[in-house]
A and B are shown apart, each in its own frame.
Chain A
Amino acid sequence: MSTFMPYAYFQCPCTDSFPQSRNLGDESPVSVSSSFDQDDRTFDPRAPRANYSLYPLEHLLYCEDCHQIRCPRCVLDEIVTWYCPNCLFEVPSSTVKSEGNRCTRSCFQCPICIAPLSVSSVEPHPEGLGAENLTVGGPYVLNCAHCYWSSKEIGIQFDKPNGIFAQLAKIKNGGEPIITARERRKDREERNRDTSAGPAVDEDGVQEERAANLDPNEILDAESQFSNLKAFYQSQLAEASPTSALTFSGGDYGYGSPGALSRIMGLYTGGSFADKKSKSKKGMMREAQDALEGLQIVSPTSEDEIINRLQTEGWDSTASTVQKDEQSTYTRFINDLRPIAHLLRTKRAKRCKTCRHILSKPEPKVQTTRFRIRLVALNCIPSISINPLSPLLPGQKSAFLVTPLKPTQFLLTFTNPLFEIVKVNIATPAQTPGRFANKVTVLCPQFEIGANTDAWEEALREGSKGIEREKRRTKAEATEGQHQAEAGKVWERGRNWVSVVVEVVPASLSFEGPDFMKSEEMLRDGGALREDEDVLEIPVFVRVDWEADAAHDESGGLSGGGRGESEVREKRELAYWCVLGVGRIAQD
């Protein structure tokens, strides 16, 4: 409780219309906005929706074309680079499309605890970690250095220390080989060749041919069944309407076009709709008939084995929900879990949803951390920091643990990142919304903040210790004379920052007492104290205006004051809600 850290969250204006917060049942805080706001615009940080529009300033971008704050909800992400977070290799987007969004090298996570797995030889020391160990010679296993799980436990070993992904794709848990999709395709092609060679081969003959290769009653895993089914239906489509064979064999993406649609309709209307010529051929699609075509028949006893296993091995043998979620197919038992190939990560550019201008663009290379474009709100709107005004009293645990009904003063420091002087107006409701109405007074709601200076200028100052002197002077002033915060005056001022005092009378968190002491809302809802209801949050409406260099803004054509008059000034205004979490109210 004593570890409360004050915070300032900014509301992105993309949620401009504040929906009237409704009471969503007992669990949701109610708002009585109508009781004290003149223009129905007081932002209620406790409204259920508020969570979705409040961000720390660092998380916000700024669109210089719209002159507006942009949050993760009102930007568009654009993938620049895919890469594996473990081996840091870039993966071309074409590979992502064909191979999927996981690393296909040797990067795996532990199926038990998700820590990274490392390849090591079975032979020597169990301590062995890292690539150097590989000179020892196989067979190799995947080891978890966090929970000490090993792929040996699921009966999986590898012949080679690299290309684990490809090797794992061929081994079932227990060590039996998996018939890969490619092998299945080959088998299928062989079968097709057999049938086309002798078109009038009798059914049984064909059946026998297949049995030599793959068992039509095989119990398939989800992936093989899917690939078999897909292959079967694709061949059916191709047969049913030969004209479409080309398009469909091209891949899975051909179904959206009008042509494809009419073909599909044709399939279900006996082929006449799409192509008159194909009428002579068998127009109807048949369904899958055996495992080779992806058909799996559920027998009433198929779950007996699972039930048996559950009964004999018990709860401990089953995987947790978290472990199941990481698996690509549904897995009930720990012994059936498989190492998880690392999901790829992306580097993304961000665009303004409104005007499509780029707000942030990283360098595409995986190992570089530079940005080509980075328009962050931090560089465009004043930041706010919160500090207690009075020093800690002895015995007081934290400056941010406030006593009910005792006026407490906080210092709000606004720092201006712009190279222009800005005028700031701040407004708060006299009482905070919610069941516990705290009284709030801003002693100086209007002030000007000086301009920011260039980094190199700052560096020069640093040499002469300018900043420190500046600070000391104001501190001295404070200690000498007017220690009391005065209404209408700023408390302290620096080159590009201003501190003002806000006074809060925290509400009592008690539910007792006469009715006239309680807020309207409390009278309506007297339920127990909810989570974080003791946090003292102040909604603040901030309006910033300044005069920007208009020419500087559209610097596209005019270079270096070609017009000679840099005096084209443009008024800018920005207004937004903030929420300041200043402390926690002590419970009496």
Chain B
Amino acid sequence: MSKKAPKGEYIETDTGNKVSRRSQIIGTANIILGGKTVIQAEVIIRGDLLRTYPSSSGDGGKGGHPVAVAIGRYCFFARACDLRPPGKMYKGTFSHYPLKIADHVFIGPSSIIEAALVGSHVNIGANCIIGKFVIIKDFVRVLNGTVVPPNMVIPSFSVVAGIPGRVVGEVSEGEVDGFDLRDIYRSIGN
């Protein structure tokens, strides 16, 4: 956002995603990008961590490719954040499960996301750890350095902070519009 990237920092896809050449996206066939998403340098997305436990419902594998990471529109993944599908033992075998991220999700630098679901209009600060199978609903702010414990459900309009993370406040009515990331997307040049 602030630093002017050197020329050719980003590759722009057909759907308007701006992906840094210095990011590591593994298993691209299993990653869905909704479009207009910015992926900065050193970001890691682990599309290779696929679900191995047979899914009861077809689980989005329409095009033949199973989905490990699904990302909506206008997301912003800041430098060196790490998105990986959560995994657990189930009936004696270990399996990963899909990580779903909706629209207008900002993830701060060096944060690690192992959530099951991150809703729309969510702002996660720098150096956070979002534990396995966490569910974050829409309009949530996670402050810098928070460690959200595994399995936590964060309801809408929460401000979360601390180790372990807990709800420390509410997002007020006037802050709702501030979660929109379209302006930030536009400000990213090549």
Interface of A with B (CB < 8 Å)? 57-61, 83, 85-88, 113-116, 118, 124-125, 127-130, 132-133, 135, 144-147, 345, 350, 360, 366-367, 369, 371, 374, 376-378
Contact = CB atoms under 8 A, between A and B. Distances in A.
Given A127-B89, A371-B173, A378-B177, A115 B155 contact: no
Contact of B152 (A87, A116, A124, A369): A116
Interface in B151-190: 151-158, 164, 166-167, 172-178
Given A114-B166, A146-B164, A369-B139, A128 B173 contact: no
A85 B153 contact: yes
Interface in B138-157: 138-139, 147, 149-157
What 5 A-B pairs are tightest by C-beta distance, nearest first? A115-B149, A146-B149, A58-B174, A145-B150, A376-B174
Given A129-B150, A146-B149, A369 B157 contact: yes
A133 B90 contact: yes
A307 B69 CA distance: 56
Given A83-B155, A115-B164, A124 B172 contact: no
Nearest to A85: B155
Contacts of A83: 155
B92 interface: yes
B121 to A, nearest CB: 8
A59 B174 contact: yes
Given A58-B174, A146-B164, A130 B133 contact: yes
Contacts of A376: 173-174
B173 A61 contact: yes
Interface residues of B, number: 33
B132 interface: yes
B151 A378 contact: no
B21 interface: no
Nearest to A129: B88
Contacts of A147: 164
B156 A125 contact: no
Contacts of B85: none
10 contacts: A58-B172, A85-B154, A87-B153, A88-B153, A114-B164, A115-B150, A118-B151, A125-B89, A129-B133, A345-B167
Contacts of B151: 116, 118, 129-130, 145
A127 B133 CA distance: 13
B133 A58 contact: no
B125 interface: no
Contacts of B153: 85-88, 116
Nearest to B116: A130
Contacts of B137: 88, 367, 369
A366 B158 CA distance: 13
Contacts of A146: 131, 147, 149-150, 164
Contacts of A133: 90
Contacts of A58: 172, 174-175, 178
Given A87-B153, A146-B131, 5 more contacts: A60-B174, A113-B164, A116-B149, A124-B92, A129-B150
Contacts of B178: 58
Contacts of A57: 174
A111 to B, nearest CB: 13
A374 B92 contact: no
A128 B89 contact: yes
Contacts of B157: 369
B150 A345 contact: no
B173 A360 contact: yes
Contacts of A369: 137-139, 156-157
B155 A129 contact: no
Query: Which of A60, A83, A86, A145 gathers most chain B CB within 10 Å?
Result: A145
